[in-house]
Homo-oligomer: A and B are copies of this chain.
Amino acid sequence: MHRFFLPLACIQNEIVFFPTEIAHQLKRVLHLREGQVVIVLDNQGMEYEVKLVSSQAHIAQGQILTRRVAQDEPTVRLAFYLCLSQREKFEWMLQKCTEMGVSAFTPVISSRSLVQEPDEVRKKYPRWQKIIQEAAEQSGRGRLPVLYPPLSLEQAVLESRQNHRSAFLLWEGERTLSLHQALTGIFPGQNQLALLVGPEGGFSETEANLAVNAGLLSVSLGRRILRMETAALVASALVLYETGEMNP
């Protein structure tokens, strides 16, 4: 069933008012008619079965049939700090890691990031927000991952450590600790994790040391060399797997 995140203001008592853009999509793209049912999410943790009562090109209304707590949202909160990289790869990571169940993204400017200007990064937020929302709707998420403002690597290191019980650095230079070992003993019980992922070309030695000295745990994904975007997706999958979030 088609799913849509809507602003809270669109959901009033038993009635849902679909914004113009979604009304257009319902009518012109999905060819849905009056009487058909969609899922509406309020991004506060509730989901609604909504029957379309009027559907026109620019305006649509629905009637709420049922309401329930959104089912399929992970309980573990996994925050990603992603160093900026080539556009397609970065967008691909936002999409795939949203599908997997990551709860927050913070773009990070490191020494080897292709983009170095925060203002340039902020211009891309509307597009990135849209990619995240579409992936969240398509994959059945109950909440939208949050997209935070860009940080420098130094800021990201401090923040990831301060705001999470466990913070990991994905580092191809790590020769001892596997992600598996790092996760062992953390679960169950702990559900606030941060993961810092380097750009293409990796972290510099200085950056990796900075992170480790600040208390991030440097972890390996094995001996084969994964591209940045593969490593990010795989790491998110492994964390969610270890927490049982990939059980049916």
Contacts and interface: CB of A to CB of B under 8 A. Distances in A.
Interface in A215-248: 220-227, 230, 233-234, 237-238, 240-241, 244-248
Task: Classify chain A: how many residues form its interface, as a range.
Answer: 35 or more
Contacts of A237: 234, 237-238
A241 B182 CA distance: 13
**How many monomers of this chain does the complex have?**
2
B99 A227 contact: yes
A225 B179 contact: no
A177 interface: yes
Interface string A14-39: 00000000000000000000000000
A224 B238 CA distance: 15
Interface in A171-223: 174-181, 220-223
A225 B174 contact: no
A248 B140 contact: no
Contacts of A240: 222
Contacts of A175: 248
Interface of A: 71-72, 96, 99-101, 138-141, 174-181, 220-227, 230, 233-234, 237-238, 240-241, 244-248
